[in-house]
Amino acid sequence: MQLLALVLYAADGRTRRLDFEPGQLNIITGESGTGKSALLTIVEYCLGRDSNLVPVGPISDTVEWYAALWELDDSGSRAFVARPKPAGKNASTSLAMLEFGTNLEPPPLSELRINSDTKQLRQQLGRRIGIEENEFDPGPWSLRHALEANIGHAALLCLQSQSEVASQSVMFHRMGEDGIDQALRDTIPYFLGAVASDEARKRAQLRDAKRTLSRLEAEYERVSQAAQNIDVELGSLFAEARAVGLIEDTDPGERADVIRTLQAARVARTRDFGSDSPTAQDRRRALEQQRDALNSQLRSVMENRGLLLHEARAANSAVSALSQQESRLTSLNLIPPIADTSPDNHSCPACGSGLADPDPTPDALRRSLEELRSQVGSLTGARPAQRRALGRLDTEASRLREQLRTAQTALQDLERGLRIEEETSSNSRDFTRGRIDAILSRALLVDETSLALLRQQLEQTQAAIDTFEGELDDDGRREQLTSRLVAVGRDIKNYADALGLEHSEDDVRLDLARLTVVADTETGPAPLTRIGSAKNWVGYHLATHLALHRYFTRQERPVPRFLMLDQPTQAHYPSENDNDSGLPVEDADRLAVRNMFELMRDVVEELAPQFQIIVCDHADLPEPWFQQAVREHWRHGTKLIPADWLFATEQDDQLCT
């Protein structure tokens, strides 16, 4: 993937196009303030970065869309990426336009449209250059999320801004930003090829296998524990089912018999239970008999009481009649008492005169009176006995009524209790059926066949885990990474020697842990931060990135085949006159600048046509090969943004005011 063109679109449809040659050294030379440094931010923006870091001023005021035309391979396949500038005062946007095709050319402004976002842009471009599905797993105890390398991470290895290329502490693009350092450590091994192309898939399979193993181990432990207790559970369940009436009152027998009986009990009709049981029938029958007997006794007592009351009423009538007759006979006091009469006394009761012959009437009346008095006395004397008898009958009736109420209440309570018991028993049977389903489902899993199957699955899963762990051996991965870093280190040393850098006679290596270059001297390691002079800092940056891209290109790794450098010769242009002319005054600086560009030229020619270098710099050397590499001269008023664009913008501002 190499850059063919950058295109800037003005609001009125005019375009500013910068063309680059793939497989060659491309130089844009110019004075300060002409927009050279903005090209790197535009390229990064067109590679899917959300933030637009184009400097505020003529570029941000006049450009509405930024676009890049990429060559993807030698067959003519291209990708066109266009990004609108962020709306309003926003500094970022995820909107993008992405198109693929053969021999594509940048369309006019009217045909630009949003059809993607930065996430899809990075993913699609990454897939086109060969970034396969990958994932860096920081480990089970890490707080960091798994990271997948994409073209945005690859771009960090392709760009060097002005402040980075001459830094003694920042080796890669955007180092020091939150998360970037760790992302570089995680993804560089993948881009170097130290991580197998199918490692992400194997690591995902390893995670799945470990989860499966944990599940199988837990299942095997549960089944083994259940196998030890299943007979006890089945026996208890059999007794429970028999108690609630789901099975007959029989002995359990062997485990297989118990399981068959319990399976049948889940759908079988229940035996007699509750209100239909013999005990309940006997209790109901006894209470009903007691109730009927008490009713009979109460009826007899009430009948006797009625007869007694009837006799009492009749006696009262007789006593009243006799008393009335007695009162009539005694009220006249005509008949003397029996003690006052004698055989010789024959006097008239009315006048008292003597009678020759006695009159029988008085005697008759006297006898009648005495008889009446005797009868009245007899009837009057019987009344206390009647009252006592009536009281006894009332007491007996009250007792019988109380017993009858007790028997009736007991019978009602029995019926109510039986209904409740029947409902409770139905719930108990349903609950027991549920327990039968649950326990039988476990019982079917604890036989030897099921245990043997689980053991076989455990062995197969453990074997798969062992295979994956062997293929994903961390020691082997570190060895692969070390081997590749050694190869890169050899090229860094050779390039450093060609540039005449300090410690180039020592072994030089790229330290991924600290993300810097280290020279192994006789007195110990010397990182770039301990190597002096800007010349060495710039030189080691250039040597390191050229060595990395040489390795990427030769090994066909999925990294864009270009390196973009902004002001790599800045340490050799101490004066403004040097910047304006493009030629350092000092011979040593001029020689150092020429050596840098010759090294870039030689590396490009070695890797041609697979590698491209784009340099934005003050340098403007007179050598023919240098001038052939120059794509733009931005001096004497020529800049990235044409002057007529700025003039049109000023006119628009005047019209608005």
User: What pLDDT, on the 0 to 100 scale, is given for residue 532?
Assistant: 86
Of 220-224, 465-469, 472-476, which one has max mean pLDDT?
Answer: 465-469
Q: What confidence category does residue 528 fall into, taking pLDDT thresholds of 50, 70 and 90?
A: very high
User: 630 versus 312: which is more confidently predicted?
Assistant: 630
Question: Can you tell me the mean pLDDT for 315-338?
Answer: 56
In this prediction, residue 332 has a pLDDT band, given cuts at 50, 70 and 90, of: very low
Confidence of residue 384 (pLDDT cuts 50, 70, 90): low
- H or E segment to which residue 78 belongs: strand 77-84
Assign 274 a pLDDT band (cuts: 50, 70, 90): very low
Read off the pLDDT of residues 576-613 as tens digits, 9 standing for 90 and up.
555 666 676 667 888 889 999 999 999 999 999 999 99
Pairing of strands 612-617, 25-30: parallel
Tens of pLDDT along 92-124? 999 999 999 998 999 999 999 999 999 999 999
pLDDT digits (tens, 9 = 90+) for 157-200: 999 999 999 999 999 999 989 989 999 998 999 999 887 766 66
Tell me, what's the pLDDT at 297? 84
Which of 144, 149, 152, 116 has the alpha carbon at shortest distance from 133? 149
Nearest to 80 by CA among 103, 54, 50, 49: 103
Phi-psi bin for 653: left (phi > 0), alpha (psi -120 to 50), beta?
A: alpha
- Least confidently predicted of 306-315, 327-336, 645-654: 327-336
Give the residue among 187, 131, 116 at the shortest CA–CA distance from 156. 187
Quote the percentage of the chain above a pLDDT of 90.
42
Q: What is the pLDDT of residues 471-491, one digit of tens each?
A: 776 677 788 899 999 999 999
CA distance 300 to 290: 15
**Summary mean pLDDT of the chain:** 81
Kindly give, in sequence order, each residue whose CB lies less than 8 Å from that of residue 212, ignoring residues fewer than 6 positions away: 461
270 pLDDT exceeds 60?
no
**Do residues 582 and 621 lie in contact, with contact meaning Cβ atoms separated by under 8 Å?**
yes
pTM given for the model:
0.64
CA-CA distance, 43 to 63, in Å (whole number)?
14
Pairing between β-strand 95-102 and β-strand 25-30 as defined by DSSP bridges: unpaired
